A and B are shown apart, each in its own frame.
Chain A
């Protein structure tokens, strides 16, 4: 027995309990030391809080036109910090309102994608055999489809608007999650505790729900953090093309589209929503990188 180990036992003997280090705690500890990820977290928190509470605090309604102050450049005097658009609407109010839509779609579509992906992947992995082959073959085929084009077709079917974007993106972005979860499930399903559950007479779907899925959550969270920026980007892409969020609702994509059309007279209409979108994507990417470094043992 090494001296250190002996001392450890000795110390424990003296009544001090050795605190267990959970994987989760370890991971977040590493994450906290990642400066870029923490900066990302702070920036994202500011943007999220601003979008959530800003509209209540701001004295301007995002949809109220003020014809006395049309296309005012950004200035602190007068209250329009980021200026106004060509209908005299306060740009900050509009950007925060649009941010609500973009962030909401980002989170909700990710949840849809995760739900489908986890169920699909765990079922395919757990049941194996022909079920697995067929299900994964379907994933392979869907993988090679041009994703955003099918989202656009799906929104043609469902009609334009926030709900259909949510469904369309969520319904097509679950593939990678399914593959990850399937891999996890394959390595889990021969473990003793699953055998035990089986021997105890638990039904297959109950095993999947209660034993398999909770154990695949770690990698799923890491990947989900990569999905959120992808969804937000996809939504803005659609809205920029005029195929996503429709007037009178707005998102960062529609604001950028409007800004691009007005840029020769009012550059801030393009730059402000562009900056918000870029800052959000930046932060989310850094956070995702940080999470992956902290929780993925392969890359350490």
Chain B
């Protein structure tokens, strides 16, 4: 187990390096320098600025410096928010994004697994079709359409919840979490249904029923474990989906999380902030995949990582 963990960590290093390198060099060939927007400065001032930010050094040296900084969680200063470093902005936004993301993850897996199991138990019934149709709808309608519709219905028409904004209160969290959860509920329930149907047909489940075990116990003790493996494997990609979704949600609901900093940075050409957030997201997704793989190896006795 420990060996597997170490090997997995080792394998993530090239990926991480690739993320950093691609971000760094891509941003470097992007047009426009960080000081272009300023008033025309004299060549001496520009030279001094470039020197202060080490932009006059050869590229490999700059990359080494950046890499070294990233290892210390130092992504350099933000070009747009002059008083902040990129790390400060990321760690100011992250708790908020994380809170919404974790809630969405929790809610979508609980509801998704329940709905999927339910549909599998009642396969080909009206309930099954209802759940699957909702699932298809949830997947096909993107969050940037649903989020404004929730705002319109629950915020403006019914007036139950605030339309947008963030003050840390629970009222402001409901709609963003809802909007972020629905596509994942849809995906997870479809996935769970498929694998549960297969699991319910397997020999050990039939044996359990044959020896007189009730439906409920058979499902919870025997069918569910096998049926949930594909769902568990999906949680890795689901994290990536929630990260991407949070970018939309944070813009739609005006939430000051990382996603919003990222979008603002991308439209302001705040290169260091863009690089910092992309690398941060990359690390997040790598960690999520690692956790999912470890859980998978714990749950599935067939998986041997030797």
Contacts and interface: CB of A to CB of B under 8 A. Distances in A.
Contacts of B244: 146, 148-149, 237
Interface stretch (A66-74, A127-135, A154-162): A154-162
B266 A156 contact: yes
Contacts of B23: 153
B26 A144 contact: no
- Categorize the interface residue count of chain B: 35 or more
B282 A240 contact: no
Main secondary structure of the interface of A (DSSP, over half): helix
14 contacts: A146-B281, A153-B274, A153-B278, A156-B27, A157-B31, A159-B31, A236-B142, A237-B144, A241-B247, A243-B267, A257-B144, A267-B152, A274-B141, A281-B140
A149 B262 contact: yes
Nearest to B281: A146
Given A236-B144, A240-B248, A146 B278 contact: yes
Given A144-B15, A237-B144, A260-B252, A242 B262 contact: no
B243 interface: yes
Interface string B200-236: 0000000000000000000000000000000000000
Contacts of B147: 260
Contact of A274 (B19, B149, B262, B277): B149
B83 to A, nearest CB: 24
A150 B22 contact: yes
B269 A156 contact: yes
Contact of B148 (A144, A263, A281): A263
A41 interface: no
Given A153-B26, A156-B30, A257-B144, 19 more contacts: A141-B14, A144-B282, A144-B286, A145-B15, A145-B22, A146-B240, A146-B243, A146-B244, A146-B281, A149-B277, A153-B274, A154-B26, A237-B142, A240-B248, A243-B267, A256-B144, A278-B145, A281-B141, A285-B136
Interface string B23-43: 100110111000000000000
A240 B249 CA distance: 11
A112 interface: no
Nearest to B277: A149
A270 interface: yes
